[in-house]
Structure 1
Amino acid sequence: MSFYTSLNGLKNAQTELSVIANNLANAETTGFKKSRINFADIVAGTASTNPKLVKGIGSTVLSIDQNFTLGPIQQTGSSLDIAINGEGFFTKVNPVSGKTFYTRNGNFGMDGGGFVTDAQGSRLQVLPVDAAGNVTSTTPIDAQAPLTNGAGSDFVAVIVKTDGGIVASYADGSTSEIGKVALGGFVAPSGLLQVGGQDWQATGISGTAAYGQPGAARFGTILSGSLEGSNVDIAEEMVGLITAQRYFQANAKAIDTATQLSQTIVNLRT
């Protein structure tokens, strides 16, 4: 039995090392959120077992939780590099698959059609506004700047305001707000599914997204010309790496000891 107990420990230590290694590998990844592993003990017993004789038979991985604390803000100067100073997620929709993604990576640009997109072509979602810049609906739409305005002047550039308003400017000096950045919030963000590329998808655990504009309710404001860095603390992860290594070594030693005991029993002479 001790072999299997220690084997569980080895597997758990290996999983913990993998989680820490992934955190360290993404220490410089924009918008990355670190993970933490939680263990639970396993016991052998039933309702009729004497509680003083219940023994443990190892441990198992209970969960791998994500930590959504704010990462360091890095200034870039690019008008479509945006960061959320507080809670919330940027919302993106892939125009091909129609799938919705959520991210803290605010590295956006524009494509030839005037859509605000990420590096994979997914389109940033905004809340529609009226001529005065007031939000008219909480149903997000694609962020698209018309390539010409009503007077026929060509598009020049966009800026993003603190309240999330995306303003397009044109060659004749006019401006037009195309919407406010739609931020998504979740009851249980730890239940979001990681899909890679600093993107998450909603699940039954996380619940559906509730949308709002930056600065409203619990949502943070927008910092233009900035990106949110990874929230990985390298010093903390290195300490965790040493602890996980000792955990692995201790379980390996327990297996070695059990092997020696078994060998001693086999070698007994009657």
Structure 2
Amino acid sequence: MSFYTSLNGMKNAQTSLGVISHNIANSETYGFKRSRAEFSELVAGSALTNPRMIQGIGSSVEAINQNFALGPVEQTGSALDLALTGDGFFTTRSSGDGATLYTRSGSFSITGSGHIADSKGNRLQLFPTDANGTVTSNALIDAVIPAANAAGAEFAGVTVSTEGAVNVSYADGSVEAIGSVAVAGFIAPTGLKRVGSSNWESTGLSGVASYGSPGTGQYGSLLSGALERSNVDIAEELVGLITAQRNFQANAKAIDTATQISQTVINLRS
């Protein structure tokens, strides 16, 4: 029994090491959220077992939970580098399969087609607005910057306000609103499914997304010219790394001790 109990402990320590290693590897990834492994006790007993005699048989991985605490905000100066100070997520749409993705990494740029997109080509989603920047619908649209306005003046620049309004300026001095950044919120963000590149997809555990504008409710304010860094604390991760290593060594020692006891019993002579 002790062999399998300690083996479970070694496997769990290995899982913890893997989670911590993943956190450390992404300590410089914008919008990354660290995870932690959580374990639960395993016991064995039946309805006829004396409660005082129920024996523990090790532990198992209960969950690998994500921590969505806000990471440090770094100033970049680029108008399309966006950061949220609350619990919201930027919404993007894949240019490939059209899947809806959510991210905390607001590193966007303008593509050749005029779309505002991330490095993977996922297009930022906006609420449509009128000429005054007032939101007119909750239906999401792709963020697209026209290369020229109705008068034929060429694109000159783009700004994003703290309320999410995306305004495009042209060479003739005119400014046009193309939409307002749509921010998604979830009742249980820890239920979001990670799909890589600091992107998540909604699941039944997270619930469906509710949308709002920056600066309202849980969504948080929007900062233009800034990016949210990873929320990984290297010092904390290194302490966890040492703890997981000691747990692994202790379980390995328990197996070694059980082996020696078994060998002693086998060598007993009457």
Same fold (TM over 0.5): yes
Gaps of 5+ in 2: none
Using the TM superposition, give the Cα deviation of residue 157 of structure 1 relative to its aligned residue in structure 2, in angstroms.
Answer: 1.4
Query: C-alpha separation between the residues in 2 aligned to 1:86 and 1:231?
Result: 14
Q: Is 2:94 the counterpart of 1:89?
A: no
Q: Is 2:121 the counterpart of 1:121?
A: yes
Query: C-alpha separation between the residues in 2 aligned to 1:18 and 1:59?
Result: 17
Deviations 1:167-191 (A, max 9, x none): 1111100011111111110011000
Tell me the SS of whatever aligns to 2:219: coil
Aligned AA (1:60):
S
Using the TM superposition, give the Cα deviation of residue 148 of structure 1 relative to its aligned residue in structure 2, in angstroms.
Answer: 1.2
Deviations 1:31-69 (A, max 9, x none): 110001110000001222110000100000000000000
Provide the residue aligned with 1:175 in structure 2: 175
Tell me the SS of whatever aligns to 1:47: coil
User: Size of the alignment, in residue pairs?
Assistant: 270
Q: Which moved more, 1:7-16 or 1:260-269?
A: 260-269
Deviations 1:60-90 (A, max 9, x none): 0000000000000000111111100111000
Provide the residue aligned with 1:135 in structure 2: 135
Query: C-alpha separation between the residues in 1 aligned to 2:168 and 2:190?
Result: 35
Using the TM superposition, give the Cα deviation of residue 5 of structure 1 relative to its aligned residue in structure 2, in angstroms.
Answer: 0.2
Residue pairs, 1:1-270, within 5 angstroms? 1-270=1-270
Query: C-alpha separation between the residues in 2 aligned to 1:94 and 1:249?
Result: 45
Deviations 1:89-141 (A, max 9, x none): 00000122111110000000001111100001110001111122111122211
Query: C-alpha separation between the residues in 1 aligned to 2:150 and 2:256?
Result: 79
Query: C-alpha separation between the residues in 2 aligned to 1:67 and 1:9?
Result: 24
Aligned AA (1:165):
A
Aligned AA (1:197):
S
Query: C-alpha separation between the residues in 2 aligned to 1:162 and 1:48?
Result: 64
* Identity across matched positions, percent: 60
Aligned AA (2:173):
G
Query: C-alpha separation between the residues in 2 aligned to 1:141 and 1:268?
Result: 79
Using the TM superposition, give the Cα deviation of residue 156 of structure 1 relative to its aligned residue in structure 2, in angstroms.
Answer: 1.4
Tell me the SS of whatever aligns to 1:30: coil
Using the TM superposition, give the Cα deviation of residue 216 of structure 1 relative to its aligned residue in structure 2, in angstroms.
Answer: 1.5
Query: C-alpha separation between the residues in 2 aligned to 1:140 and 1:6?
Result: 53
Query: C-alpha separation between the residues in 2 aligned to 1:121 and 1:33?
Result: 22
Aligned AA (1:80):
L
Structure-1-length-normalised TM-score: 0.98
Tell me the SS of whatever aligns to 1:163: coil
Query: C-alpha separation between the residues in 2 aligned to 1:13 and 1:184?
Result: 35
Runs of 4 or more, structure 1, over 3 Å off, are none
Deviations 1:15-46 (A, max 9, x none): 00010111111111111100011100000012
Structure-2-length-normalised TM-score: 0.98
Gaps of 5+ in 1: none
